Amino acid sequence: MNVPSPAMLSAKNFKSDTKPIWCPGCGDYAVLTSLTRALASLGRPPEEVAMISGIGCSSRIPAYMNCYGFHGVHGRALPLATGLKVARPDLTVIAAGGDGDGYSIGGNHFMHACRRNVDLTYIVMDNHVYGMTKGQSSPTTEPDWDNALTPGGTGVRPFQPLVVALASGANFVARAFSGDIVGTADIMTQAIKSPGFSLVEVLSPCVTFRPEQREWKDLVRPSPVPATDDPARAARRLMTDDGFNIGVLYTGQRQPYRPKGSETEKSLDALCQEFVI
Amino acid sequence: MSDARQQRMLLTGNHAVAWAARLARPKVVPGYPITPQTPILEKLTEFHASGELDAELITPESEHSVMAACIPASLTGVRVFTATASQGLLLMHELLHYASGARAPIVMANVNRTPASPWGFWPDQTDSVAQRDTGWIQFYSESAQESLDTVIQAFRVAEAVLVPTMVNHDAFYVSHAVEPVEVPHQDVVDGFLPAYSPPHRIDPQNPESWGNVVTQEMYNRHRRDLGEALARVPEVALQADREWGALTGRSWGIVERYRCEGAATVIVTMGSMCGTVRDAVDALRQSGHAAGLLKIRLFRPLPVEALRAALVGVPDVVVLDRNYSPGHGGVLHQELRAALYGIDKAPRIHGLLAGVGGMNVSAERIADLVRETVVGAPRAESVWVK
Ligand SMILES: Cc1ncc(C[n+]2csc(CCOP(=O)(O)OP(=O)(O)O)c2C)c(N)n1
Ligand code: SF4
């Protein structure tokens, strides 16, 4: 594929020829559009970008993109992305997946990725359901949501991704809504630019197993206050959050994790010199 | 035989498993969904919701947590059931060893599906044969009816020897195919499965502990104890199967011989492919080739004595493996060679990697493969065929 100069990149340069097999109306289509637009606006050529995912409908996203892609195993997008980033700090590494993948089976990795603060962007397409396995409760599902595996609901308190991210040390924490393509692309752009670990939690409806999520478009609203760099303020705001405030919550100042020795990276010439006898 | 003691229903393999689990009256059922196992969990949930299953159903955050929950639940002295497939089974691996070491007689259904990578949803037994060294008893079933009967028998066997037991059936061919299934009456199963009462259990009145650090000597003894328990399995399983036969009119053996009398060639395989091989055997016999099928139902422990008795003096054995151990070949092929090594009148053993990755192998193709294979000398390695 002929890739134009960075200044000329468009979203199309980041889309692959593979046609998505998501259900018509799935929120993930719009996430794909936002992400490809964000990458185009950043001007990084596709060969400097890597998309790493787990398993789920949402985790199919690398196949639909034109950049390096890795469709991993269920729940392990973040450890995979971490390994890639420390080996190739020069790449823009984006991890992506669903709420089941990231907060259930991969929940422990989520906390530790926030703590470690490796320079990654994590995009979670949150539809409050395991879509791929046909509609079971995930950690973010409402406790009373009725489904085949937990009739009447799990009765279990939902997982709070933004609270956990903030408490665990993520450097950038935001919520987006897939239906707002422009706004989501803008949040993703900021997230990728922000050093350290960035969480972009995207409300992305599953129209097949949660058709009522079509109403999310009427429930979401721009967050009434701008982003803060004060974790205490961000935490207070989350205390009154109903899950539908959209925007960047927190942009911190923590130094991102650096692989040992990366500051003193030697040039190839210097390395060659060491081997001269 | 539909009678007052059983009722005929149209069930998929997965729903037959759920019925069996319900009839065994487990008290704890942890589960994490994965294609193609999910309908087992959904059916059990339906039974629970309608009050027909009195158990604690929990949905932990992964299969690793599922098996972790199963072990202590089982050690309290209650029946525990779970189900998984493919990646889920692989993720459990660490705790599969733990469960057999802790002598927790959990019963688990596994739906055989290709492991990643690359991703696939196809019938392939690599997921479970890769667990052969974990100390679990393993059965392979060919049909919905057999899966139902085997899950019920599995509780009996597991609890008799205190070893966890896995019942495997192939993705889609068995898990999703609908068949008429005789579902036994609850009284029949209650009579067959005595109340579970292990000699040791987690009990606050009588404190004991599990999983401690031990000396080399104790560890060594512990392994041997587990081995001795497994050595009893063929006899215990046969006895359970005979009693089940008396109650329901159905028994399956630990290996099954189909048209093996005077056979010049015996085809050995396990799982859904056995059904196809029966047709191939009929066709081969029709065309004058004396062929038979030896179906392996109990794979762990491998019933070496039964295999030797069935195959001694047979000129050619053709093993069909729907699994692949890279660098080694078909697992059944290798196991069979080891089992028959050194006996008098040992057969020539040919191994074919047939159906790996879920490839469909027709009865006609199997018949042709057998004809082509037995004319040559057995190859050292398993041979890829389509
Ligand atoms: C170890 C393991 N367990 C279970 C599965 C089955 N599985 C595939 S995707 C999935 C859940 C997907 O939910 P989510 O991450 O929310 O993504 P969505 O499909 O909703 O986009 C599950 C349970 C698996 N692939 N691997
Ligand atoms: S099942 Fe739900 S999440 Fe999966 S593609 Fe369809 S709409 Fe999207």
- Write the CA distances from B238 to B135, B235, B244, B280, B339, integer angstroms: 19, 5, 10, 27, 19
Do B24 and B153 share a domain, yes or no? yes
Contact B299, B110 (CB under 8 A): no
Tens digit of each residue's pLDDT (9 = 90 or more) over A204-215: 999 999 999 999
Q: Which distant-in-sequence residues (6+ apart) come within 8 Å of A257 by Cβ?
A: A116, A117, A118, A119, A196
B251–chain A Cβ distance below 8 A for any pair: no
Which chain A residue has its CA at the smallest distance from B46's CA? A148
**Is A263 a residue whose pLDDT tops 70?**
no
A164–chain B Cβ distance below 8 A for any pair: no
Q: How many whole angstroms separate alpha carbon B127 and alpha carbon A71?
A: 20
A172 domain residue, yes or no? yes
Q: Which range is least confidently modeled, B62-66, B92-96, B199-203, B312-316?
A: B199-203
CA dihedral A63, A65, A71, A75 (to 10 degrees): -120
Tens digit of each residue's pLDDT (9 = 90 or more) over A84-109: 999 999 999 999 999 999 999 999 99
**Is B46 a residue whose pLDDT tops 60?**
yes
Taking the CA atoms of chain B, what radius of gyration do you get in angstroms?
Answer: 20
Q: Can you give the length of chain B in residues? A: 386
ipTM, 2 dp = 0.91
Do B270 and B244 share a domain, yes or no? no
Average pLDDT over every residue of A230-253:
97
A150–chain B Cβ distance below 8 A for any pair: yes
Tokens 């109903």 belong to A242
Q: How many whole angstroms separate alpha carbon B352 and alpha carbon B381?
A: 9
B1 domain residue, yes or no? no
pLDDT band at A1 (very low <50, low <70, confident <90, very high): low
Do B220 and B291 share a domain, yes or no? no
A109 domain residue, yes or no? yes
Q: What is the strand order of the sheet A198-203 is part of?
A: A68-71, A49-53, A92-98, A121-126, A198-203, A172-177, A245-251, A221-222
Query: Which one of the ligands is nearest to B127 CA?
Result: 1
- pLDDT given at position A6: 66
A92–chain B Cβ distance below 8 A for any pair: no
Do B50 and B119 share a domain, yes or no? yes
Q: Write out the H or E segment, with its range, that includes residue B281.
A: helix B273-286
Contact B113, B139 (CB under 8 A): no
> Mind telling me how many Å the CA of A63 is from chain B's nearest CA?
13
**Is B118 a residue whose pLDDT tops 80?**
yes
Q: Which distant-in-sequence residues (6+ apart) come within 8 Å of B346 by Cβ?
A: B312, B340
Do B187 and B307 share a domain, yes or no? no
- pLDDT given at position A264: 53
pLDDT band at A271 (very low <50, low <70, confident <90, very high): confident
Helices (H), chain A: 28-42, 77-87, 99, 107-116, 161-168, 181-193, 216-219, 231-239, 268-274
| CB of residue A20 inside a 6 A radius of ligand 2 | no
3-state secondary structure (DSSP) of residue B120: coil
Q: How many whole angstroms separate alpha carbon A196 and alpha carbon B123?
A: 42
For residue B5, the Cα-to-chain-centroid distance in whole angstroms is 26
pLDDT band at A276 (very low <50, low <70, confident <90, very high): confident
Q: Which distant-in-sequence residues (6+ apart) come within 8 Å of B369 by Cβ?
A: B318, B352, B354, B385
Do B183 and B304 share a domain, yes or no? no
Q: Which distant-in-sequence residues (6+ apart) come within 8 Å of B173 by Cβ?
A: B123, B272
Do B241 and B260 share a domain, yes or no? no
B82 domain residue, yes or no? yes
Q: Can you give the length of chain A in residues? A: 277
B283 domain residue, yes or no? yes
The CB-based long-range contact list for B216-220 (8 Å cut-off, 24+ gap) reads none
Query: Which one of the ligands is nearest to A101 CA?
Result: 1
The tally of domains found in chain B comes to 2
The tally of domains found in chain A comes to 1
CATH number at residue A199: 3.40.50.970
Q: How many whole angstroms separate alpha carbon B102 and alpha carbon A4?
A: 61
Q: How many whole angstroms separate alpha carbon B359 and alpha carbon A271?
A: 51
Q: What angle do CA B325, B271, B248 make, to 5 degrees?
A: 150
pLDDT band at A272 (very low <50, low <70, confident <90, very high): confident
Average pLDDT over every residue of A246-258:
95
Q: Write out the H or E segment, with its range, that includes residue B239.
A: helix B233-248
Domain end point (choices B225, B248, B271):
B248
Average pLDDT over every residue of A253-275:
76
Strand bridging mode B316-321 / B348-353: parallel
Q: Which residues of A touch B32 (CB under 8 A)?
A: 105
Output the pTM of the full model.
Answer: 0.94
Closest CA to B342 of B383, B373, B316, B312: B312
B185 domain residue, yes or no? yes
Q: How many whole angstroms separate alpha carbon B375 and alpha carbon B224?
A: 43
Domain end point (choices B184, B218, B248):
B248
A130–chain B Cβ distance below 8 A for any pair: yes
Do B168 and B298 share a domain, yes or no? no
A1 domain residue, yes or no? no
Taking the CA atoms of chain A, what radius of gyration do you get in angstroms?
Answer: 19
Q: How many whole angstroms separate alpha carbon A190 and alpha carbon A174?
A: 10
A33 domain residue, yes or no? yes
Cα of A54 from ligand 1 centre, angstroms: 8
Contact B147, B16 (CB under 8 A): yes
Give the CA count within 13 Å in the CB-facing half-sphere of A136.
Answer: 22
Domain end point (choices B202, B230, B248):
B248
Q: Which range is least confidently modeled, B50-59, B178-187, B201-210, B345-354?
A: B201-210
Contact B249, B299 (CB under 8 A): no
B225 domain residue, yes or no? yes
Percent with pLDDT over 70 in chain B: 99
Give the CA count within 13 Å in the CB-facing half-sphere of B204.
Answer: 0
Domain limits for position A265: 6-274
Tokens 């998929």 belong to B12
Residue contact A149–B35, C-beta within 8 A: no
Domain limits for position B322: 255-384
Percent with pLDDT over 90 in chain B: 97
- pLDDT given at position A8: 87
> Mind telling me how many Å the CA of A104 is from chain B's nearest CA?
5
Which chain A residue has its CA at the smallest distance from B31's CA? A149
| CB of residue A77 inside a 6 A radius of ligand 2 | no
Q: What six digits make up the tokens of A144?
A: 């009373």
CATH number at residue B156: 3.40.50.970
Q: Which distant-in-sequence residues (6+ apart) come within 8 Å of A122 by Cβ?
A: A77, A78, A81, A94, A95, A96, A102, A110, A113, A197, A198, A199, A200
**Is B1 a residue whose pLDDT tops 60?**
no
